[in-house]
Structure 1
Amino acid sequence: MQVLVTESLKIPEGINVSINNGKLVVKGKKGELQRDISSIRGIEISIKNNIITIESTFANRKTKSLVYTLLRHIQNMFIGVTKGYRYYLKIIFTHFPMSVKVVGDEVQITNLIGEKNIRKAKILDGVKVTVKGEDIVVEGIDLEKVAQTAANIERASKISGFDRRVFGDGIFIYKKEVIE
């Protein structure tokens, strides 16, 4: 029995999509995103008449889910190159005043629950981080890099060995949005 899965996606105005040497390249007004698709087996991707077609001929459960995952990644790339993504984080401290600053390609957190060492979180390429009072704003066109940078900041401020009901100090993601 042959199972055919075919999904189509119209390319919006102002976006240029190409496939070169196993890389899917999406260009828009905000920039350019690339995704390596050379390792994906059993799926054909074609671009004709401003429509991207993703299809798999002998689709089992795993291959079918891969088709829809790839479709969603391409939609996220479209949103990224036209609008962009933004994550908001809140700096919360109750006992010791925490200091957060951006230095180069990392966020430095000092005086978290009175610690003397500086905690560092990596900022990925193409992501902009700004600290405004008790808020941290993480922006960029690549959803995965923006989300990973926000997660790096949240993870760097995680405290262990204390009662979380008493020591609620840290930096936490509280809002995610598409930039309009």
Structure 2
Amino acid sequence: MRYPKTAFKTVTRVVEIKPEAEVEISGDTIVVRGPRGELRRKFNKEFLDITVEDGKVKLVTYDDRRFNRAYIGTMASHIKNMINGVVNGFRKEMIIVFAHFPMRVEVDKNKKAVIISNFVGSRAPRIAKIVGNTDVRVEGDRIIIEGPSKEDVSQTAANIRQATKIKDKDQRVFMDGIYLLEE
């Protein structure tokens, strides 16, 4: 810690650990394991102390400045999302929409990419990167994105949406693309 423990008012956050999850602190990394996998995240030991005790993760900062309060809240939210991800997982569903040119969507597991062919009649395929340990499936006109990390699932969905974004045309007329349906 940068400051002596008695210099400022302490701020504490407590996060409950679900019975199916296991949380471990290893240096400046928090590791969460569960039935859906393992997630790791680094944290700055300069601003907060993290301990695991009695089925709870306790986050403490010895400085109540605005940045430290924000950082402790952010880390508490990340830990909740990690626990929820390794126990339940996260899922997003997208829909493939086209008017005239039938779009073909394939998942290349080796390259960790979603390949979108014949988008608005273009010859070159558009490629969207699959981030992290995320599973992507195409079922008819739906794309299902699942994984233990909320950030990876969301970024993969954003990459797919960005790859099919139409620029320089009226989006009310040219509505072809892949859109987020439900989270």
CA–CA separation in structure 2 for the residues paired with 1:46 and 1:58: 17
Match of 2:55?
A: 50
Q: TM-score, length-normalised on structure 2?
A: 0.91
Match of 1:69?
A: 74
Match of 2:149?
A: 142
CA–CA separation in structure 1 for the residues paired with 2:56 and 2:146: 29
CA–CA separation in structure 2 for the residues paired with 1:132 and 1:15: 31
Structure 1 spans left out of the alignment, 5+ residues: none
In structure 2, relative to structure 1, the CA distance for the partners of 1:170 and 1:40 (3 Å cut) is: farther
For residues 27-85 of structure 1, give each alpha carbon's deviation from its aligned partner in whole angstroms, at most 9, with x where no partner exists. 11121111111x35321111122221111111211110111111011010111111101
In structure 2, relative to structure 1, the CA distance for the partners of 1:68 and 1:138 (3 Å cut) is: same
Matched-pair contact (CA < 8 Å) for 2:28–2:45: no
Could you tell me which amino acid in structure 1 is paired with residue 17 of structure 2?
A: I
Number of residue pairs aligned between Structure 1 and Structure 2: 175
Query: What pairs with 1:1-180 in structure 2 (closer than 5 Å)?
Result: 2-37=8-43, 39=44, 41-104=46-109, 105-176=112-183
Deviation at 1:103, TM superposition (A): 1.6
Structure 2 spans left out of the alignment, 5+ residues: 1-6
Q: TM-score, length-normalised on structure 1?
A: 0.93
Q: Which runs of 4+ in 1 moved over 2 A?
A: none
Could you tell me which amino acid in structure 2 is paired with residue 22 of structure 1?
A: D
For residues 106-160 of structure 1, give each alpha carbon's deviation from its aligned partner in whole angstroms, at most 9, with x where no partner exists. 1011111111110000112311100011100000011110111111101111111
CA–CA separation in structure 1 for the residues paired with 2:99 and 2:67: 47
RMSD, aligned α-carbons: 1.3
CA–CA separation in structure 2 for the residues paired with 1:41 and 1:61: 15
Could you tell me which amino acid in structure 1 is paired with residue 60 of structure 2?
A: E
Matched-pair contact (CA < 8 Å) for 2:129–2:159: yes
> What secondary structure, in the 3-state scheme, does the structure 2 residue paired with 1:151 have?
helix
